Amino acid sequence: MYDYGLNLWGNNNFIVENGKICVNTGSKPAIIDIVKSIRSEGYRGPLLLRFPHLIHKQISQIYKSFESAKNEFGYKGSFNAVYPLKVNQYPGFVKNLVRHGQKYGYGLEAGSKAELLLVMAYNNEGAPITVNGFKDKEMINIGFIAAEMGHNITLTIEGLNELEAIIAIAKERFTPKPNIGLRIRLHSSGSGIWAKSGGINSKFGLTATELIEAVNLLKEANLLDRFNMIHFHIGSQITEIHPLKKALIEAGNIYAELRKMGAKNLKAINLGGGLAIEYSQFKENSSRNYTLSEYANDVVYLLKTMATQRNEVEPDIFIESGRFVSASHAVLVAPVLELFSQDYTEEKLVLKKKNPQLITELNDLLSTIKPSNAIEYLHDSIDHMESILTLFDLGYVDLQDRSNAEILTHLIIKKAAKILGTKQHNAELLKLQEEAQERYLVNFSLFQSLPDFWGLKQNFPIMPLDRLDVRPTRSASLWDITCDSDGEIGFDDEENPLFLHDVDVEKEEYFLGFFLVGAYQEVLGMKHNLFTHPTEATIEIDAEGFKVSHLLESQSILDIMEDLDYDIYEIQDILNERIEKSKLVTDSQRKQILGEMYLFLNDNGYLKTIS
Ligand SMILES: *Cc1c(COP(=O)(O)O)cnc(C)c1O
């Protein structure tokens, strides 16, 4: 069985059965069967599958872990969690999250006016709301309205000017009023590629001087009783637990100091997000050094110790984990359209009566390659190919010779790959496999569906949906269908070598799954080349089988033109007029063309099939 590191990143969400990757719940359907059932209704191109049971699983694990940590240490503060909307605002996700979060009192976090208004509409009654990020008077006003509607809302202040605005607005608005939180600036910071959101130079948070001033301003305005929470966020995907521990100690001391200054309603410490998930398919490059239960235990234990040392009440704990809750629920499935060297078959070889010496040698290599010489022959064939190209530039061999060399080299690479397999993971072989890689053209846009790979080199687990009982032999690089050369996931022989199967996609379908794409990717996705959010489907699974509960087709070409503020009626009129005016076709041909044009404009822009 070839499981592509599933035991590392899979969290028991999926299992491999009969060579297929299956969802590990209820009837355990194979993902490929879900995909085929959706495609049988005519949907083509990439598919984003949402699994709501995995949202529920993450939420319940968070509450369970903190509950058990609290019990273990006899912690008296409460535990609360909110989901930060910025991580995924799509209704197909958010509505399921709110539904599954209800019994836990799971709340929502907003970072902008638009998010705040969404939160006010969808948040479970009584569940907490926190608001972070820069705010103007209007946004603060919306926060007051949320409190007046009955929401349990805390506005976290990022700077003193926001506090001054709150004080001014509080005089004008009604009761009840929102709670006020202060974002603190820690000198300890996070780790990993997102670390800049913590630390003394971070974009957010009040310095010690500003904190003192804030408490004084609140006192003067008679609003100190509304101040209930301090907040920090040391960055996303915290790879090590150590910086968080340092941050907790610092925050615990600030908490005690502020209470000493008279902030008696300050009862909560909000740790922000940052809880990491495991993206890696290889043990050597694991992306975090702690588990959820370690995280919960450390947080509870440290805050308890701090409170005891400082002789203060144990604070209520708030967390704002986004990535941890949302990443696993979504799987992107994209069909492979073509293997670059698929056309290099023996039949295409047109050898001459008298061939250049190097071609004869390549031919010999192909017929005598075997396990004991495979690495050497692979080397030789790549060298020969390079020499042939030089000879071509100098005019010594012709295009037919060059084509023969291409075909022979690819046949040797394929044969060697089959012989060598992926077992011998030595550096030299991997290096060779990088040169001998196969390019897979995949029907998706990297910019739309995996923007963090493009922007941050974040790896996501990738694997084929079936053939997992067959050894994959080809070192693979993936090409998306944008015309941008950055739209590639290259074969990474050092960190993340991906091996796929040698398939003839003209005869049989081959699908790749991209996992853990539920956090950040969807809304950060770009419309580069005017590719849109893929067709999405929500999949509910029970003991009987699976149900596609919500299917939303990818936007049409006209929709995306409209998003860019084109006048789509004008576009259609121009196209139609130009077709009408064409003198090159007959009336009945013209009618057909107009019909075709209408269909193309109203369909999405992903590819259907190549041939
Ligand atoms: C982005 C953000 C989060 C979520 O971080 P994750 O790493 O996704 O858990 C939480 N709180 C704040 C203030 C944020 O800006």
Residue 43 has pLDDT above 60, yes or no: yes
Q: How many angstroms is it from 243 CA to the middle of ligand 1?
A: 16
Which of 1.10.1060.10, 3.50.50.60, 1.20.58.930, 2.40.280.10 is the CATH number of 346-434?
1.20.58.930
Instruction: Give the number of other Cβ atoms within 10 Å of residue 199's Cβ.
Output: 19
Q: Does domain 22-50+436-552 have CATH number 2.40.37.10?
A: yes
Q: Residues of CATH 3.20.20.10 domain(s) within the chain? A: 52-327
Q: What are the tokens at 73?
A: 């240490």
Q: Which of 86, 182, 231, 236 most suits a substitution to test ligand 1, by most atoms within 8 Å of the C-beta? A: 236
pLDDT tens per residue, range 345-395: 999 999 999 999 999 999 999 999 999 999 899 999 999 999 999 999 999
Residue 547 has pLDDT above 70, yes or no: yes
- What is residue 401's predicted lDDT score, i.e. its pLDDT? 97
**Cβ-contact 319, 83 below 8 angstroms:** no
- What is residue 195's predicted lDDT score, i.e. its pLDDT? 56
**Cβ-contact 123, 108 below 8 angstroms:** yes
In the structure, what pLDDT confidence band is assigned to residue 342 with cuts at 50, 70 and 90? confident
Q: How many angstroms is it from 110 CA to the middle of ligand 1?
A: 10
Q: Write the DSSP assignment of 1-15 as a string of letters.
A: ---TTHHHH-TTSEE
Which amino acid residue places its CA nearest to atom 4 of ligand 1?
A: 273
**Cβ-contact 361, 409 below 8 angstroms:** no
Q: What is the dihedral of CA 86, 90, 96, 98, to 10 degrees?
A: 40
Catalytic residue among 483, 564, 584, 599: 483
Residue 278 has pLDDT above 90, yes or no: yes
Q: In whole angstroms, what is the distance from residue 123 CA to residue 153 CA?
A: 11
Q: What are the tokens at 190?
A: 């996070």
Helix 91-101 with 113-122: angle, nearest 10 deg: 50
* Cα–Cα distance list, 320 to 111, 147, 157, 159, 291 (Å): 12, 20, 16, 20, 17
Nearest to 221 by CA among 282, 260, 163: 163
Q: In whole angstroms, what is the distance from residue 89 CA to residue 94 CA?
A: 6
Instruction: Give the number of other Cβ atoms within 10 Å of residue 514's Cβ.
Output: 25
What is the three-class DSSP state of 423?
coil
In one-letter notation, the amino acid at residue 325 is V
Q: Which of 58, 109, 232 most suits a substitution to test ligand 1, by most atoms within 8 Å of the C-beta? A: 109
Q: In whole angstroms, what is the distance from residue 130 CA to residue 273 CA?
A: 12
Q: In whole angstroms, what is the distance from residue 343 CA to residue 172 CA?
A: 74
Domain range 52-327, CATH class: alpha beta
**Cβ-contact 227, 262 below 8 angstroms:** no
Q: How many angstroms is it from 56 CA to the middle of ligand 1?
A: 19
Q: In whole angstroms, what is the distance from residue 394 CA to residue 316 CA?
A: 76
- What is residue 429's predicted lDDT score, i.e. its pLDDT? 78
Q: In whole angstroms, what is the distance from residue 390 CA to residue 367 CA?
A: 25
Q: What are the tokens at 131?
A: 């608001």
Residue 566 has pLDDT above 60, yes or no: yes
Nearest to 60 by CA among 99, 119, 108, 100: 100
Give exposure, 141-157, as e/b (b: 16+ Cβ within 10 Å).
bbbbbbbeeebbbbbbb
Q: Residues of CATH 1.20.58.930 domain(s) within the chain? A: 346-434
Ligand 1 nearest atom to the CA of residue 519, by list position: 8
Which amino acid residue places its CA nearest to atom 12 of ligand 1?
A: 272
DSSP state letter for 533:
P
pLDDT tens per residue, range 467-523: 999 999 899 999 999 999 999 999 998 889 999 999 999 999 999 999 999 999 999
Ligand 1 nearest atom to the CA of residue 87, by list position: 8
483 an active-site residue?
yes
Ligand 1 binding pocket, CB closer than 6 Å = 84, 86-87, 132, 233, 236-237, 272-275, 320-324
**Cβ-contact 604, 557 below 8 angstroms:** yes
pLDDT tens per residue, range 54-102: 999 999 999 999 999 999 999 999 999 999 999 999 999 999 999 999 9
Q: In whole angstroms, what is the distance from residue 457 CA to residue 483 CA?
A: 19
Which amino acid residue places its CA nearest to atom 11 of ligand 1?
A: 272
- What is residue 343's predicted lDDT score, i.e. its pLDDT? 82
Nearest to 571 by CA among 558, 560, 555, 581: 558
What is the three-class DSSP state of 538?
strand
Report the run of H or E that residue 242 belongs to, with start and end.
helix 242-260
Q: In whole angstroms, what is the distance from residue 365 CA to residue 383 CA?
A: 12
pLDDT tens per residue, range 138-185: 999 999 999 999 999 999 999 999 999 999 999 999 999 999 999 999
Backbone angles phi, psi at 256, to 5 degrees: -65, -40
Q: Residues of CATH 2.40.37.10 domain(s) within the chain? A: 22-50+436-552
Ligand 1 nearest atom to the CA of residue 275, by list position: 9
Q: How many angstroms is it from 236 CA to the middle of ligand 1?
A: 6
Q: What is the average pLDDT across 279-284?
A: 94
